[in-house]
Structure 1
Amino acid sequence: MSEALVASQPPGTDTPVPGASGARQFWRRLRAQRAALVAAAVVALLVLVALAAPLLTALEGQDPTTYHPSLIDSARGGVPIGSFGGISADHWLGVEPQTGRDLFARLAYGARVSLAVALAATVLQVFLGIVIGVASALGNRWVDQLLSRVTDIIVALPLMIMSLALLAIVPSSFPRPVLVSLVIGLIAWGNIAKIVRAQTLTLKGLDYVLAARLSGWGAWRIARRELLPGLAAPVITYAALLVPTNISAEAALSFLGVGVKPPTPSWGQMLTAADVWYQAAPQYLLLPAGALFVTVLALTVLGDGVRTALDPRAASRLRVGTGRRNETGGAGTGKEETS
């Protein structure tokens, strides 16, 4: 409820707390979706592995950059010695062809890079989308037209082509993970800006926003106190779906050779180096590809679950459908009993 409307209520009137109630409803709806819970557990495990990568690799006794030439069969072109890519007690997932670097260590550190780049790019996209979308909806006609046309241009830009062009001209001394995050975030904020603008235009006509404007509040205070809480659900939903998209974009850029550079490990970079080893050492290709597939799938399922949990119409459709089935079943039972 708007603070302007709350201030007008008589003293002693109980005011509901929609935020707490909405949070409880969200968790209840999310817990009802088993696929979303499984996806959340997988995502939590991946984040834990990424955060604990130094501890896990220290426990294994390896690191992602040390070469082990004694574990490579040079006579066979650099294929790892031993079965299943050189899996052993010292190398849990085997070693990398030609270099002998530990695959588990590179996968764990690669998860840090891929997830960090995707999350940083998502935060930047959400920030720019909210600022530009709200400014466009609250501004005058000329501001709205200008920002809307800029947003249309951004949406029309091909992400991969623009990223390739920008990453190719930036000096190699610039930290590559930071650069990839900036490039993805600065190019792909257009869709969320459109969503925020449309939702803000809808919220502007509601009673509590009009009451706040009549109370003399400025545009910034209205946006911060009244509009942003109403924008939380669509923004969180879209952001949850942006993370897997950004992970795929980072992997594609690294695969094309313009993303994260060696020796920093990245799943996309590992796929680039593994494309010629799919027959001699298939685990070198399957491990990063499988990790990328599971991560994107889990984040996509979790994002869809968050969207459903934040959509109040989902629960109402379920209740209405169940009620109709119950009424139909009850009517049919009554007819059978009457006959």
Structure 2
Amino acid sequence: MSEALVASEAAEADTGSVLAPASGARQFWRRLRARRAALVAASVVALLVLVALAAPLLTAVEGQNPTDYHPGLVDSASGGVPVGAFGGVSADHWLGVEPQTGRDLFARLVYGARVSLGVALAATLIQVLLGIAVGIGAALGGRWIDQLLDRVTDIIIAMPLMIMALALLAIVPDGFPRPVLVAAIIGLVAWGSIAKIVRAHTLTLKELDHVAAARLAGWGPWHVARRELLPALAAPVLTYAALLVPVNISTEAALSFLGVGVKPPTPSWGQMLTQADVWYQAAPQYLLLPAGALFVTVLALTVLGDGVRTALDPRAGSRLRVGTGRKREAKA
């Protein structure tokens, strides 16, 4: 998906079409409100973020902790299956307990949201900062700097993210904070696509009259970038960043599922899926709950990212056929 988006964005830049930011916040919100699917997705994302931030409060209300073991709530004779109906659901354990360990499933689910969302957002921030720095540096630098940074970016894009992340995570000592490490590795290995987008737009923007006038006036590259380029780059950067978040959530879940991501006892949705693959028959909720949370989160962020993209750039049609009725698009 990222390679196709890079190609389309570069093609637009080559033909002289640059994503212009909306003329004001009011227009942006009006266009976004016209897309009901984007508003619903934004509400879901806001709710997920609120749950992640309020995880300590929610678990305190329930009276449980994500790392506390409850061996009396599992049947050791049957291999650790939770005792009771629906995986041990009760007034003390709202979603039941984990097989074998008896740890509270609700507490692990809401704390897992903190890890999954936090890793994805931190990785996206690293990708955006590196992509902007390299893309603008390549476009404003001399010929040799542009070629050097462009070749480095090509190498980064060509690297298989999962294989590189697996290799790097396997050699780092276990004592290093795993969520921080996963976010850093995803961000440092996957910034190439956004660097290509920023470079393509900057090459077109620097030929505009006001940017050329600023350079002729003696402004330095940093001054030109800060005053003239960054405001115009806000729309494409925010658009691509919104689409990177669900990709990074899926990547963190995949790494944890493969056993090299977040380590126990720190809860993570991907880690919960790893431990649930042998319990889907005896305790199906242990598999369905983290899988459902991942699905809803990735879907909501994808729809929201598409809505932000079309709100910032009304000339571009939606890539999703959700909430894109002709009347709402004409009104926007």
2:49 to 47, 50, 57: 47
Q: CA deviation at 1:312?
A: 3.3
- C-alpha contact 2:134 2:149 (8 A) present in aligned 1: yes
Show the 5 A alignment for 1:30-109: 30-109=32-111
Structure 1 counterpart of 2:44, one-letter code: V
1:145 to 144, 147, 160: 147
1:19/1:185 CA distance change after superposition, 3 Å = closer
Runs of 4+ aligned residues of structure 1 deviating over 6 Å after TM superposition are none
Name the SS for the 2:24 alignment partner.
helix
Alpha-carbon separation, structure 2, partners of 1:298 and 1:19:
23
Cα distance in 2 between the residues matched to 1:160 and 1:219: 35
Counterpart of 1:186? 188
Correspondence for 1:167 among 162, 166, 169: 169
Offset of residue 215 of structure 1: 2.1
Aligned-pair identity in percent equals: 82
Alignment TM-score, normalising by the size of structure 2: 0.88
Describe the superposition over 1:118-155 as per-residue Cα deviations: whole angstroms up to 9, x where unpaired.
Answer: 00000000000000000000001100000000000000
Residue in 1 that maps onto 2:292: 290
Secondary structure of the residue aligned to 1:257 is coil
**Partner residue, 1:274:** 276
Provide the TM-score with structure 1 as the length reference: 0.87
Measured after TM superposition, the shift of residue 77 of structure 1 is 1.3
SS at match of 2:281: coil
Q: Which has the higher contact order (CA 8 A, sep 6+)?
A: 2
The size of the alignment, in residue pairs, is: 301
**1: CA distance between counterparts of 2:226 and 2:67?**
47
Higher helix share: 1
Cα drift, residue 70 of structure 1: 1.1
Q: CA deviation at 1:76?
A: 1.5
Question: 1:328 aligns to what?
Answer: none
CA distance in 1, matches of 2:247, 2:114: 16
Q: Distance in 2 between matches of 1:112 and 1:139?
A: 40
- 1: CA distance between counterparts of 2:90 and 2:176? 37
Could you tell me how far apart the structure 2 residues matched to 1:190 and 1:19 are? 23
What is the alpha-carbon distance in structure 2 between the residues aligned to residue 35 and residue 114 of structure 1?
Answer: 23
Asked which structure has the greater CA Rg, the reply is 1
Residue from 299, 309, 312 that aligns with 2:311: 309
1:211, distance to aligned residue in structure 2 (A): 1.7
Match of 2:30?
28
CA change 1:229–1:181 in 2 (3 A) is same
Assess, with a 3 A threshold, how the Cα gap between structure 1 residues 20 and 143 changes in structure 2: closer, same or farther.
closer
Deviations 1:67-98 (A, max 9, x none): 11111111221111111111111111000001
Distance 1:190 1:214 in 2: 30
CA distance in 2, matches of 1:21, 1:189: 28
Q: Are 2:150 and 1:155 aligned?
A: no
> Is 2:205–2:211's contact at 8 Å kept on the other side of the alignment?
yes
2: distance between equivalents of 1:189 and 1:19? 22
Cross-structure match for 1:211: 213
Q: Secondary structure at the match of 2:315?
A: helix
* CA distance 1:36–1:19, shift in 2 (3 Å): closer
Aligned-CA RMSD value: 1.5
Q: Aligned residue for 2:266? A: 264
For 2:297, the aligned partner's letter is T
Q: What is the alpha-carbon distance in structure 2 between the residues aligned to residue 21 and residue 200 of structure 1?
A: 19
Q: 1:199 aligns with which of 198, 201, 208?
A: 201
- What amino acid maps onto 1:242 in structure 2? L
- Cα deviation, 1:8-60, whole Å, max 9, x if unaligned, reads xxxxxxxxxx9894211111100110000000000000000000000000000
Residue in 2 aligned with 1:231?
Answer: 233
For 1:20 and 1:75, the matched residues in 2 are separated by 63
Residue 259 of structure 2 aligns with an amino acid whose one-letter code is G
State the alpha-carbon separation in 1 of the partners of residues 237 and 21 from structure 2: 16
3-state SS of paired residue (1:313):
coil
